[in-house]
Amino acid sequence: MWFDNIEETIINHGSLYMTKRIAQKHKIDRRLSVNLWGRPKSPFNLRKYKPGQHGQKHAGKLSDYGVQLHAKQKLKGYYGNLNERQFRNCYKEAIRLKGDSGENLIAILERRLDTIVYRSKFVPTVFAARQFINHGHVKINGKRVNISSYLLDEGDVVEVKDKSKELAICIESIKSQERDIPGYITVDEKKLSSTFLRVPQFAEVPYATQMDPKLVIEYYSR
């Protein structure tokens, strides 16, 4: 079944078995030297150094460019499903809009359908959200949408399709105490539906590690 591959994990008697994809995600944590998603099972919790034989060597002070690059890699990595072209397009839209470009960038990323599906706890990760959407298991305002980059407007209602509400991945995720639902979304756990109340400010977004969108803007503005 498709959901055996979604998030590419298998939940069996409460134990989480990693596949190659999950191992790669954990490698991202170690490569960036952060626990990006705040997961208890992140290997960075045990080995706070980069992978490879030189990973434990002390890193020198980063240049301004290095600091900006690291900030970009963290933010881009957090949202998981974006390639470099897509992320750059988010930046271009952020600087086109009026107001603070850093705030605009976060607003765009948080309005994405895959982000809201993840924030609503319908699935355990942002990676799983993309597959979940692509397979047609999500509706917006009663209509099926299979585009993970779809941008929501305030008041939009996101719902898991009726036939998909009994999937194990949904049931396990919505019950998880690993993360909280942010205040700019309301979730009906029984109906597996959520309402996007408003576009959040950067300070409201529940990142598990420190992010700096201004440094990301500076990186692309070079």
The answer to whether position 13 is within a domain reads no
Residue in this structure with the two tokens 């979304």, named with its chain if needed: 185
Are β-strands 157-160 and 185-188 bridged in parallel, bridged antiparallel, or unpaired?
unpaired
CATH of the domain at 42: 1.10.1050.10
On whether both 29 and 105 belong to a single domain, the answer is: yes
On whether both 165 and 198 belong to a single domain, the answer is: yes
Q: In which band, very low, low, confident or very high, does the pLDDT at 13 lie, cut at 50, 70 and 90?
A: very low
Distance CA 141, CA 155 (A): 9
On whether both 72 and 134 belong to a single domain, the answer is: no
pLDDT digits (tens, 9 = 90+) for 84-141: 999 999 999 999 999 999 999 999 999 999 999 999 999 999 999 999 999 999 999 9
On whether both 117 and 101 belong to a single domain, the answer is: no
Specify the pTM. 0.80
Q: Which domain holds residue 182?
A: 113-202
